[in-house]
Amino acid sequence: MNQKPAPRRAVSRGGQSSRRPTSPRQPLPPDSLANSLSLAAQLVAAVIEGKALTEQLAQLRHGHPNPDINWGAVQDLTYGTLREYGRGDAMLAPLIQKPLPTLIHALLLVACHRLEHRPDQQHTVVDQAVNAAAFHAVGLKGVVNGVLRNLLRRIDELRAKADRDDAARLCHPDWWIKRLRRSYPNEWESVLAAGNMHPPMALRANRRHLTSRQAQARLAEAGIEARLLDNDALLLDAPCPVERIPGFFEGQFSVQDAGAQWAARWLAPRDGERILDACAAPGGKTAHILELADARVTALELDPKRARRIEENLSRIGATAEIKIADCVELDRWWDGQPFDRILADVPCSASGVVRRHPDIKWLRRNTDIPAFAAQQAKILDALWQTLAPGGTMLYVTCSVFEEENRTQIARFCTRHADAKRMMIDNRIERIVLPNADHDGFYYALLRKDG
């Protein structure tokens, strides 16, 4: 994700660089709303300039070690602003007559989001946003003050105008909306609404330590209420720090989205089998496989840094796998020629099913990226199929809701490979797990190799 976002107006107005136009004055109080607005604006500006939010947040935190900074507030402001970027940008567009530096435009977006959700704090938000503007560009604090006060005066008019624009009302790019409307004529609006929610927190109980019912009871004893879902995922009533989860650091629980917890179950690993988890980082599915069966698992990952996370996750639950760092399509770099009984092909994708966790994705993706992802997925599938034993099974997984990466991808694969047979998953030929309040969005297809 190394390109500018395509949300609409912020980039089309030709916003200038997010570098500070003037030298900063006195530092903002670290625990102030002004500082939270400022830091959130820096993150939003980075996304507008085409950078990935997760990496930028890590870098910003590393560069601001002051313990008084309210990083929870910074993250809430940033993620909320990006989830609603299309709406905020549409509401601000009529109020900004000249292109502003990207950082100042981002500050206005963050302040607009805060004003929309905390109307009781109007005076404070405007005052603190002006202070943040003065820190970055003292000459533009009057502009920020004027735009925000004008926003408040015209708020009803601007909301009504935004509600007439699909991208602003639904907070997704136009091309994204059109794709979902074609693929899911009955569910497309609920899918978009789920993409704008706060993500739920789900746990996976390690069955080597306790049953799902025992896990639920143990959480209740710790004051953590959780609902048990059909796949034994534990959906928390409210997110909580992992430090509160009893036995977490001893490997009794793992944090994993409920929709992702179907992967290991539908792969159905058995003791003694040779299993490949391709594109395995951060290792949640690898760990789940090893919790379900005493299998010989190879976890394959291209990025060395992400591969270390696999090792950390396995170490915490007391499991081991052979971790290899290589491109999965370059078989001569990692495959020893011994076929696998099962393969989990959790392939790179648009991540369109997990955008509430990564709201920058909505604005960094382009419509043309989807065919590119599909081509990469096809290449991976064709390579991995060679490593599967006759009679073996491959579970294809994406966290995408776009048909080109899912149903269409598998249909084309089966056309290319006469020895690929579609297998039923819980009496269905495929499983489309659309995002909702309980889980993110995933696609699953199970294939068996004849022979």
Question: Which value, in Å, is the radius of gyration of the alpha carbons in the chain?
Answer: 24
On whether the CB atoms of residues 297 and 290 are closer than 8 A, the answer is yes
What is the arrangement of strands in the sheet containing 226-228, beginning at the earlier edge strand?
226-228, 234-236, 202-205, 253-255
The CA distance from 401 to 192, in Å, is: 10
How many angstroms separate the Cα of 321 from the Cα of each of 262, 288, 300?
20, 12, 10
Start-to-end Cα distance in the chain: 40
Distance of CA 439 to the CA centre of its chain: 12
Q: Dihedrals φ, ψ of 127, to 5°?
A: -60, -45
Which residues, 6 or more positions from 121, have their beta carbon under 8 angstroms from its beta carbon? 114, 115
On whether the CB atoms of residues 413 and 364 are closer than 8 A, the answer is no
Q: Which of 171, 240, 399, 414 is catalytic?
A: 399
Q: At what angle do helices 122-136 and 33-48 cross, to 10 degrees?
A: 60
The length of the chain, given as a count of residues: 451
On whether the CB atoms of residues 100 and 143 are closer than 8 A, the answer is yes
Q: At what angle do helices 71-83 and 53-63 cross, to 10 degrees?
A: 160
On whether the CB atoms of residues 395 and 423 are closer than 8 A, the answer is no
Residue 399 among the catalytic residues: yes
Q: The tokens of 119 are what?
A: 């109307």
On whether the CB atoms of residues 275 and 298 are closer than 8 A, the answer is yes
**In the chain, what are the helix, strand and coil shares in percent, each to the nearest 5?**
50, 15, 35
On whether the CB atoms of residues 326 and 334 are closer than 8 A, the answer is yes
On whether the CB atoms of residues 69 and 28 are closer than 8 A, the answer is no
Q: Where are the beta strands (DSSP E) in 180-261?
A: 202-205, 226-228, 234-236, 253-255
Residue 405: name the closest of 180, 127, 158 by CA.
180
The CA distance from 1 to 118, in Å, is: 32
Distance of CA 209 to the CA centre of its chain: 29
Residue 39: name the closest of 15, 16, 70 by CA.
70
**Catalytic sites, residue numbers:** 399
